[in-house]
Amino acid sequence: MNKPLHLSTFIGCEKPYMEAEVVLFGVPFDGTTTFRPGTRFAMQAIRTDSFGLETYSPYLDKDLEDVSIYDGGDLDLPFGNTEKVLGQILAYSQEVLEDGKKFLMVGGEHLVSLPTIQAAYQKYPNLHVIHIDAHTDLREAYLGEKLSHASVIRRCHDFLGDGRIFQFGIRSGMKEEFEWAKEHTYLERFTLDTLKEKVQELQDVPVYVTIDLDVLDPGTFPGTGTPEPGGITYRELLEAIKHLQSLNQIVAADVVELSPQYDPSGASTAMACKTVREMLLTLVE
Amino acid sequence: MNKPLHLSTFIGCEKPYMEAEVVLFGVPFDGTTTFRPGTRFAMQAIRTDSFGLETYSPYLDKDLEDVSIYDGGDLDLPFGNTEKVLGQILAYSQEVLEDGKKFLMVGGEHLVSLPTIQAAYQKYPNLHVIHIDAHTDLREAYLGEKLSHASVIRRCHDFLGDGRIFQFGIRSGMKEEFEWAKEHTYLERFTLDTLKEKVQELQDVPVYVTIDLDVLDPGTFPGTGTPEPGGITYRELLEAIKHLQSLNQIVAADVVELSPQYDPSGASTAMACKTVREMLLTLVE
Amino acid sequence: MNKPLHLSTFIGCEKPYMEAEVVLFGVPFDGTTTFRPGTRFAMQAIRTDSFGLETYSPYLDKDLEDVSIYDGGDLDLPFGNTEKVLGQILAYSQEVLEDGKKFLMVGGEHLVSLPTIQAAYQKYPNLHVIHIDAHTDLREAYLGEKLSHASVIRRCHDFLGDGRIFQFGIRSGMKEEFEWAKEHTYLERFTLDTLKEKVQELQDVPVYVTIDLDVLDPGTFPGTGTPEPGGITYRELLEAIKHLQSLNQIVAADVVELSPQYDPSGASTAMACKTVREMLLTLVE
Amino acid sequence: MNKPLHLSTFIGCEKPYMEAEVVLFGVPFDGTTTFRPGTRFAMQAIRTDSFGLETYSPYLDKDLEDVSIYDGGDLDLPFGNTEKVLGQILAYSQEVLEDGKKFLMVGGEHLVSLPTIQAAYQKYPNLHVIHIDAHTDLREAYLGEKLSHASVIRRCHDFLGDGRIFQFGIRSGMKEEFEWAKEHTYLERFTLDTLKEKVQELQDVPVYVTIDLDVLDPGTFPGTGTPEPGGITYRELLEAIKHLQSLNQIVAADVVELSPQYDPSGASTAMACKTVREMLLTLVE
Amino acid sequence: MNKPLHLSTFIGCEKPYMEAEVVLFGVPFDGTTTFRPGTRFAMQAIRTDSFGLETYSPYLDKDLEDVSIYDGGDLDLPFGNTEKVLGQILAYSQEVLEDGKKFLMVGGEHLVSLPTIQAAYQKYPNLHVIHIDAHTDLREAYLGEKLSHASVIRRCHDFLGDGRIFQFGIRSGMKEEFEWAKEHTYLERFTLDTLKEKVQELQDVPVYVTIDLDVLDPGTFPGTGTPEPGGITYRELLEAIKHLQSLNQIVAADVVELSPQYDPSGASTAMACKTVREMLLTLVE
Amino acid sequence: MNKPLHLSTFIGCEKPYMEAEVVLFGVPFDGTTTFRPGTRFAMQAIRTDSFGLETYSPYLDKDLEDVSIYDGGDLDLPFGNTEKVLGQILAYSQEVLEDGKKFLMVGGEHLVSLPTIQAAYQKYPNLHVIHIDAHTDLREAYLGEKLSHASVIRRCHDFLGDGRIFQFGIRSGMKEEFEWAKEHTYLERFTLDTLKEKVQELQDVPVYVTIDLDVLDPGTFPGTGTPEPGGITYRELLEAIKHLQSLNQIVAADVVELSPQYDPSGASTAMACKTVREMLLTLVE
């Protein structure tokens, strides 16, 4: 009887940890989400539906079967205690980086990018962040809490400082946030048109890429908690990922804010899956 | 115990009637809808989900918090008696205009634009109408009834006459309707490309804008009763609204035909919410 | 223009606070829910759908129009900080009781009953609790957290002590919980058959009633986060509520764990609405 | 090429009109429905899903294949003009009865039973009505309209008078309606327990049976516009239909208020289908 | 880095094959389903949602943690080639039985019980079958195919012969099937009332139990392809499983016909999960 | 009583077979679909929802009312026996072509195009195929089966040979398939940009057009079994159909892979309906 237990990894990510160049892991946390929760279900849905994809990318002409990726599963997190959650994510990310690997983290709400960016910053003090999103995420606090999905990039600025954050696709925020960004970050409104150019500037520094999938138009990608109309198409996102190939020091990345239950058709989950595949193939050498 | 009852207005529309420059109100009527009813639920869904939006528009650089808008709630309408329903809408619209205010009406099926356009015409006899829609709405009658969502623009022509109606995005109708339009209205098929130019022509006459959200492609905006493929993107609609800023005498407007239950993801409702926000900010000086 | 803003109260609960005998309020919190979140949406759905009910109960022969109930809206809660949330609920409940009123709280996850029962206990030290639920809720801790929906009745026992808690309909828990209950609470497995008899014993002491709607069979009531098959019918719950009429000192109550989005048919929400109506009419003299 | 067009009848109802003993027809009208429309889709869904059933009833030991039933399709109705709609239904029902046939009408909202009961009354002046429903439907008027789904049985009383209406399963209404019923109808609250006995009394008079499917508990049958918890099980409805076999002069019947879109599982539609099959087999000799 | 790959077994079924007393495995096949496919998704959904259950059964007072069960995953099956599929299932079942273990198979459509019952019959020639279902499943052929979900019990009779098949809860079939059953099987219509008595008769012979979950009323359990109203409640099914404890030679069992996507609430899947837990605990000594 | 049975044809396709120039028919088969079944429901949904369309196409300025199309209904197919199914489709297609008519077949999964292309090839040995799809469909076999939706174009190549197949919009496949295509077919990746030019080359040879609707981006068209992000917009598909008007010998066509249940909004079905209308009007002279 040699049938093994069914291992539910992302398609083509079945290498052991020791051999892996890139670690994929999920962070099923949506504990500060105020409007519509559900990103906790993202990674589970992504793993299951990844089997509707091929392992080969005709965009990058690379194949997951040919590279070394370990699917580390999901972190087990204590809901209701945000600080403890962030601590666990930080510890895991640090460990992966210390072992000389890169990672792709899949959220969860955007707040979970805070500890993963922190871990990358600790290892690469010259870290720059490419932030693709519909929202500024630059609030000083939200409902009195400084640790919020609406504040995550502002919290990253706390340690990264000016000139390190590059924001694209932004189409929603308070007026104050747009004003603040003028002083402290690079922010392109509505589109990704300048991404290619900025990638050129960043090609030799360590870069972390955080993709909030709600940058996509909700007409295309309804499976997210805070749908913001007027976003980009999936082909535009694919194009952006192709530009990222020029980065020589991309050290880690994340894909966040899929809420699969808001799109029972599975189309949003399929977009998340394809984004994960393309980003994994971007992270490997 | 000072917690007030929860007032369910559209976000940022909490000014009292007396101080308001613009009145927002809902008309939850879908009584002549033959195919798939449900626009009666639109305004309720729009109010609830408006809290997923910001009050600030980075497109128009205006903020709902800075202007004076009253949310007048929904009209209570007797289903099954279409003439009585239209009479009530007419009376309410007249009252708002007589009080020197503008209004944004949210439907409901498109037939409810008939009395609001009538009210605007009574006050502004030189009224012109910008009509953004997938359908011609120019039938003389539908299933024997002259008061039908498929006839609403034809009924408006009954009193407005030739040269006053400008139709954009139209991609569905009987051959006769397209023929009739050649004589009596301006009709652009499929796109909004000539809207900018027509707005220039209309910039100094009183204009009413009626937006049937099914002008959007149903792939983007499935939450409507009569989905007609081949429509515009949400970014194209945003662009059109920006062009409307050149109108110096926009006197009232409406946004109709959201049927939120056909899009449980909430994406269609989010588009309706953002359209309402942008149109409110267009109506204020 | 005298049309008021639409006040979204539960049907028939429009009395001012000062005159009210009973206060209805919502606690939209599901921050420790590990399996499937969504009870935060319960009260909003209940208010909207309450208009599908009549105000008159033919079961109790009482009418909401004839009694004095204030709908206090929902508490605004900081997600991600459980202790702060519980503190706010406690403060609100204390205030209502100090003003000489009773309350019906609508959750939210079951953890939100902890502060409301605490508030009742502070005012009525001889408090007894009737707990109707599918789950024991008697864990010492869950995922390392003592403040969890799975521990709420155990936490109540911390201050109430033995002999004060009466559990009915329980059909799920760890073996240890069932063992523990034998020493510390009264626990009826699977059904409510002994409720009538226990109510007789409790008729002259202060009683708090907490109804976790997942006591209903999920075939009947699928709109909940942790569906546990084998539960009671809605008619059995109605019967139980009729038995509660014999309680002479019922001081407060709650109805928790509706997650309306898991039952888009609205049937589960309708059951929650009717339970709220019947419990409100039970609380008034 | 002999493949015929697909005739979408209810399963086993393919006899020509001339030979038919019973006529089945649909009335897709929900024009006075205030809360949640959709009964217009009932008959279409019932025809499609009837093919999940067998034609044989083990309850009645009869088979649709062995009897003569014509499926007359659906009436084409002008939405928005209630009086015209009722006139068309009346005319069709009269014609069927004049041709010496019985009918089973499938709604639609309950108001459509008014003209079918009128037609039966015109032919059988001694008509008695068995009314199975959750709601009294005895309002004098609703939102100012006397022709409303909430008034349909009251309108029937206008011509039938006292002693002719027998109501079962009623669990919702205004207090006034319950009071009024004491004088004018036979009304059993909550259950169908006395149906068997009343059928004995009525076995030799002409009887019309109107079944509002919302008599079923919404936990069992969520596919209806006004779900009212606390209803009967489907087995109880089957039992009631078995009792109806004792009626010697059942002249026509209807099954109303399925709204299939509220129950996408198809379970509610399946119950409606089975009820239609059992009622058809009840109507044939 | 010691975090293991996430093993997606049914809750508490993590023993290695060698030590296991019972093997759980899934057969995701619905290739002959004519009406509504989807049972292929059952086992995946059951594994995921099993984590909403406890491992302890208060009904049987046994705990999955205390027994030895191996979750063998799902068979990989070639859709479109029914004979090959059945051959693979047979081979796997034979292997498990030859290794001295029992199994619980989870379908898939009911046809997949044919090879598992065959395997059990090969090992236990005196095999008796307890068949709990809404449908007779006794057709000689369906649409010309002898290998069909509607013929599975008839195919079992081909080798088992008369007096070995005991059917309960049956409420749908052709008249011919009911007639045929009178000669060849024991068949109880509509209910499970005689199950307890029959179990007594069978307590010392080898028994295979096949549970088609559509025996449950679709109002309770809508997640199935051919909903047949008038079925049993979940409590009645639990009661039946308790009666099965008297069987001294229960050698294998299956649970089939969950189609989880027809019940997005998860309630049907929860019932399937609980049935699997109870049947696993029934199979172990 | 002259009301006919309701004939459920596609809108405007009510001509008798003898007079028809084009035959429309459905093939409700998804028996080799491994990922997510449901295309069997496509044609039924398309017929019902076609009544939300007009018969007039403003794109082609033609009207279904003015041409001769027969809706032949759906083939009755034995699930579970793929070879028999393909044989029946072949026979039907041959018969239509022999009668001097063209056809538009609506799937079903893509495998059903194999026999229809075979039939066209038998009549037109110089047949060329235009294949619009997201997937290469060029596998030699899938899960060991040569007759699979993933192999359909490869199977067509078996008899058509090199130089006859023109593929557009392809964005998913194994690396080997893309390599193989370089030798044997014309394959445009990602877009339809070269379609216009290729149509010019093919304007005087017999052409069969097979449209797999999953060429559309799943954000636009989620109603399909294998959503592949990065596809074309519906306006791009409309544009492509306009280019097809230049073909002088288009002999048959198909539209496959709608799975309506994955898009309950109806938007995907509406796109399929409009595609069917445009293709019917393309096939007529």
Between chains, do E76 and F143 touch, taking CB under 8 Å as contact? yes
Task: Return the CA Rg of chain A.
Answer: 17
Tokens 């829609």 -> residue: B133
Q: Which of residues 262-281 of B touch A (CB under 8 A)?
A: 263-268, 270-271, 274
| Confidence band, pLDDT 50/70/90 cuts, at residue E2 | very low
**Nearest CB to E143 within list F38, F78, F82:** F78
Please say if the pLDDT value at position E7 is more than 80: no
Between chains, do A76 and C33 touch, taking CB under 8 Å as contact? no
The pLDDT value recorded for residue F93 is 98
What is the pLDDT of chain C when averaged over all its residues? Answer: 94
Please say if the pLDDT value at position C3 is more than 70: no
Please say if the pLDDT value at position B234 is more than 90: yes
Rounded Cα gap, residues A253 and A258, in angstroms: 15
Angle E152-160/E113-123 helices, nearest 10 degrees? 20
Tell me the backbone φ, ψ of residue A103, rounded to 5 degrees.
-140, 155
Q: Which domains does chain C have, with CATH numbers?
A: 4-283 (3.40.800.10)
Tokens 């046809």 -> residue: E111
Q: Provide the 3-class DSSP secondary structure of residue F175.
A: helix
Q: Exposed (0-12), middle (13-18) or buried (19+): which is B76, by Cβ within 10 Å?
A: exposed
Flag whether A touches D (3+ CB pairs, 8 A cutoff).
Answer: no
Which residues from E are below 8 Å from D58, CB to CB?
A: 170-173, 178, 189-190
Alpha helices, DSSP H only, in chain E? 42-49, 82-98, 113-123, 152-160, 175-184, 195-201, 234-244, 267-283
Name the amino acid, one letter, at D78: P
Mean pLDDT, residues E6-18: 85
Which is higher by pLDDT, B33 or E220?
E220
Give how far Cα C284 sits from Cα of C8, C126, C280, Å.
22, 21, 7
| Confidence band, pLDDT 50/70/90 cuts, at residue C6 | very low
User: What pLDDT digit, counting tens, does each position of B123-144 carry?
Assistant: 999 999 999 999 999 999 887 7
User: What pLDDT digit, counting tens, does each position of C100-118 carry?
Assistant: 999 999 999 999 999 999 9
Mean pLDDT, residues C211-217: 98
Question: DSSP string of F6-40?
Answer: PB-PSTT-B--GGG-SEEEEEE---TT--S---GG
Rounded Cα gap, residues C271 and C45, in angstroms: 12
Between chains, do A73 and E4 touch, taking CB under 8 Å as contact? yes
Please say if the pLDDT value at position F20 is more than 50: yes
- Cβ-based neighbour number of residue C182 at 10 Å: 9
| Confidence band, pLDDT 50/70/90 cuts, at residue D78 | confident
- Of the residues C2, C6, C9, the best mutation for testing chain B's interface (the one with the most B CB atoms within 10 Å of its CB) is C6
The pLDDT value recorded for residue D7 is 53
Q: Of the given ranges (A10-19, A44-53, F2-11), which has the lowest mean pLDDT? A: F2-11
Mean pLDDT, residues E217-245: 97
What is the pLDDT of chain E when averaged over all its residues? Answer: 94
Between chains, do C143 and A37 touch, taking CB under 8 Å as contact? no
Q: Exposed (0-12), middle (13-18) or buried (19+): which is C83, by Cβ within 10 Å?
A: exposed
Q: Provide the 3-class DSSP secondary structure of residue E172.
A: strand
Rounded Cα gap, residues C272 and E183, in angstroms: 50
Percent of chain B whose pLDDT exceeds 90: 87
What is the pLDDT of chain A when averaged over all its residues? Answer: 94
Tokens 């579970």 -> residue: F80
Mean pLDDT, residues B204-208: 98
Which is higher by pLDDT, A257 or B77?
A257
Mean pLDDT, residues E175-179: 97
Q: Of the given ranges (B168-177, B232-241, F74-83), which has the lowest mean pLDDT? A: F74-83
The pLDDT value recorded for residue E1 is 38
Please say if the pLDDT value at position B2 is more than 70: no
User: What pLDDT digit, counting tens, does each position of A128-167 carry?
Assistant: 999 999 999 999 988 778 888 889 999 999 999 999 999 9
Task: Return the CA Rg of chain D.
Answer: 17
Q: Provide the 3-class DSSP secondary structure of residue C256.
A: strand
Please say if the pLDDT value at position A172 is more than 90: yes
The pLDDT value recorded for residue A143 is 75
Q: Which residues contact F143 (CB under 8 A, 6 or more apart)?
A: E76, E78, E79, F34
Give how far Cα A204 sits from Cα of A200, A279, D280, Å.
9, 18, 79
Q: Which residues contact F14 (CB under 8 A, 6 or more apart)?
A: F7, F71
User: Which chains have at least 3 CB atom pairs separated by less than 8 Å from chain E?
Assistant: A, C, D, F
Flag whether B touches C (3+ CB pairs, 8 A cutoff).
Answer: yes
- Cβ-based neighbour number of residue A179 at 10 Å: 11
Which is higher by pLDDT, F143 or D213?
D213
Flag whether A touches F (3+ CB pairs, 8 A cutoff).
Answer: yes
Which residues from C are below 8 Å from E220, CB to CB?
A: 217, 219-220
| Confidence band, pLDDT 50/70/90 cuts, at residue A5 | very low
**Nearest CB to A219 within list B54, B56, B220:** B220
| Confidence band, pLDDT 50/70/90 cuts, at residue D81 | confident
Please say if the pLDDT value at position A277 is more than 80: yes
Mean pLDDT, residues C222-241: 97
The pLDDT value recorded for residue E3 is 44
Rounded Cα gap, residues A244 and F47, in angstroms: 46
- Cβ-based neighbour number of residue D163 at 10 Å: 10
Tell me the backbone φ, ψ of residue F216, rounded to 5 degrees.
-70, 150
Between chains, do A33 and C79 touch, taking CB under 8 Å as contact? yes
Nearest residue to E65 via CA among E26, E101, E14, E103: E14
Q: Is the dihedral of CA D106, D109, D110, D116 positive or negative?
A: negative
The pLDDT value recorded for residue A149 is 86
Which run of H or of E encompasses A211?
A: strand A207-212
Question: DSSP string of chain D?
Answer: --PPPPB-PSTT-B--GGG-SEEEEEE---TT--S---GGGHHHHHHHHGGGS-SEETTTTEEGGGS-EEEEEE----TTBHHHHHHHHHHHHHHHHHTT-EEEEEESSGGGHHHHHHHHHHH-TT-EEEEE-SB----S-BTTBSSSGGGHHHHHHHHH-TT-EEEEEE-B--HHHHHHHHHHSEEEES--TTHHHHHHHTTTS-EEEEEEGGGB-TTT---SSS--SS-B-HHHHHHHHHHHTT-S-EEEEEEE---GGG-TTSHHHHHHHHHHHHHHHHH--
| Confidence band, pLDDT 50/70/90 cuts, at residue D4 | very low
The pLDDT value recorded for residue D285 is 84
User: What pLDDT digit, counting tens, does each position of B133-191 carry?
Assistant: 999 999 998 877 888 888 999 999 999 999 999 999 999 999 999 999 999 999 999 99
User: What pLDDT digit, counting tens, does each position of E104-153 carry?
Assistant: 999 999 999 999 999 999 999 999 999 999 999 999 988 778 888 889 99
Between chains, do B37 and D40 touch, taking CB under 8 Å as contact? yes
User: What pLDDT digit, counting tens, does each position of A180-220 carry?
Assistant: 999 999 999 999 999 999 999 999 999 999 999 999 999 99
Q: Which residues contact B63 (CB under 8 A, 6 or more apart)?
A: A175, B12, B55, B56, B57
| Confidence band, pLDDT 50/70/90 cuts, at residue C7 | low
The pLDDT value recorded for residue B7 is 53
Rounded Cα gap, residues F235 and F100, in angstroms: 33
Percent of chain A whose pLDDT exceeds 70: 98
Nearest residue to D276 via CA among D6, D83, D24: D24
Tokens 């030290």 -> residue: C125
Nearest residue to B256 via CA among B152, B185, B180: B152
Mean pLDDT, residues E75-88: 89
Centroid of chain to Cα B135: 14
Name the amino acid, one letter, at B75: L
Rounded Cα gap, residues D269 and E218, in angstroms: 10
The half-sphere exposure of D205 on its side-chain side, counting CA atoms within 13 A, is 18
Please say if the pLDDT value at position D6 is more than 60: no
Give how far Cα F52 sits from Cα of D182, E151, E201, Å.
48, 40, 61
**Nearest CB to C262 within list E238, E265, E268:** E265
Rounded Cα gap, residues B12 and B1, in angstroms: 24
* Binding-site residue set of C: 110, 133, 135, 137, 212, 214
Rounded Cα gap, residues B138 and A112, in angstroms: 53
| Confidence band, pLDDT 50/70/90 cuts, at residue F243 | very high
Pick the residue from chain D with its C-alpha nearest to C219: D219
Q: Which residues contact B62 (CB under 8 A, 6 or more apart)?
A: B56, B281, B284
Mean pLDDT, residues D222-227: 96
Q: Provide the 3-class DSSP secondary structure of residue F49.
A: helix
Which run of H or of E encompasses B73?
A: strand B69-74
Nearest residue to D210 via CA among D277, D269, D156: D156
- Of the residues D49, D51, D53, D54, the best mutation for testing chain E's interface (the one with the most E CB atoms within 10 Å of its CB) is D54
User: What pLDDT digit, counting tens, does each position of C119-133 carry?
Assistant: 999 999 999 999 999
Rounded Cα gap, residues E22 and E8, in angstroms: 17
Q: Provide the 3-class DSSP secondary structure of residue C7.
A: strand
* Biggest CA pair distance of chain A: 65
Q: Of the given ranges (A6-20, B94-108, C35-49), which has the lowest mean pLDDT? A: A6-20
Q: Looking at the complex, report in whole angstroms how far the Cα of residue D239 sits from the nearest Cα belonging to chain E.
A: 10
**Can you name the residues that pair with B208 across neighbouring β-strands?**
B129, B252
First to last CA, chain F: 39
The pLDDT value recorded for residue B248 is 97
The pLDDT value recorded for residue A7 is 52
Mean pLDDT, residues D109-130: 98
The pLDDT value recorded for residue F7 is 53
Q: What is the pTM of this model?
A: 0.93
The pLDDT value recorded for residue A6 is 47
Nearest residue to C159 via CA among C104, C209, C105, C120: C120
**Nearest CB to F1 within list D17, D48, D74:** D17
The pLDDT value recorded for residue D26 is 96
Classify residue C209 as left (phi > 0), alpha (psi -120 to 50) or beta. beta
Mean pLDDT, residues F35-57: 93
Q: Which long-range contacts (C-beta less than 8 Å, at least 24 apart) are formed by D10-13? A: D10/D46, D10/D47, D10/D50, D10/D69, D10/D71, D10/D273, D10/D276, D11/D50, D11/D51, D11/D53, D11/D55, D11/D64, D11/D277, D12/D55, D12/D63, D12/D64, D12/D65, D12/D69, D13/D64, D13/D69, D13/D70, D13/D71, D13/D280
User: What pLDDT digit, counting tens, does each position of E25-40 carry?
Assistant: 999 999 888 888 999 9
E131 annotated as ligand-binding: no
Name the amino acid, one letter, at F193: D
Mean pLDDT, residues E50-59: 95
**Nearest CB to B1 within list C5, C44, C95:** C95
Centroid of chain to Cα B206: 16
- Of the residues B33, B35, B79, B83, the best mutation for testing chain D's interface (the one with the most D CB atoms within 10 Å of its CB) is B79
- Of the residues A3, A23, A44, A97, the best mutation for testing chain E's interface (the one with the most E CB atoms within 10 Å of its CB) is A3
Q: Which residues contact D126 (CB under 8 A, 6 or more apart)?
A: D205, D206
Please say if the pLDDT value at position B260 is more than 60: yes
